[in-house]
Amino acid sequence: MSNSSHILPEHDIRPYSVPQLAERWGCSDSMIRKLINLGELKCFRIGALIRIAAAEVERFETTPVPVQQTATTSSVPVAGDRKVIGRKPRKRSPIVRS
């Protein structure tokens, strides 16, 4: 046995929290939660804490997203195995002129 002060084995990598993963991917916390709720990203819970295993992050990052080529558009993401997550339309307030 080694005299390392490291508690986790060398091959074991700490899981990501939602904010850590959002920072890694350059997106919002809510986007990570949306992927979890859609079943695209697997997580586990420790009480109220949500954690995503490093292996799951690697799986998600290395899974290719299919792209469909058409004559009218150069490249459009296709849902394939994954759902395309779009934005909710903005509510526009009517313009009131006096």
How many domains, in total, are found in the chain? Answer: 1
Tens of pLDDT along 25-56?
A: 999 999 999 999 999 999 999 999 999 999 99
Residue 78: both structure tokens together: 């296709």
Is 95 among the domain residues? Answer: no
**Token pair listed for 50:** 């949500």
Query: How do residues 1-23 score in pLDDT, each as one tens digit?
Result: 455 445 555 556 889 999 999 99
Whether residue 50 contacts residue 43, with contact meaning beta carbons closer than 8 Å, is answered with: yes
- What ranges make up the beta strands (E) of the chain? 16-17, 44-46, 49-52, 67-68, 76-77
Dig out the tokens for 74 from the structure. Answer: 């150069």
Indicate whether 26 belongs to any domain.
yes
Measured in Å, how far apart are the chain's first and last C-alpha atoms? 80
How many CB atoms neighbour CB 41 within 10 A? 18
For 73, the domain range is 16-77
> What would the pLDDT profile of 70-83 be if each residue is shown by its tens digit?
555 545 555 555 66
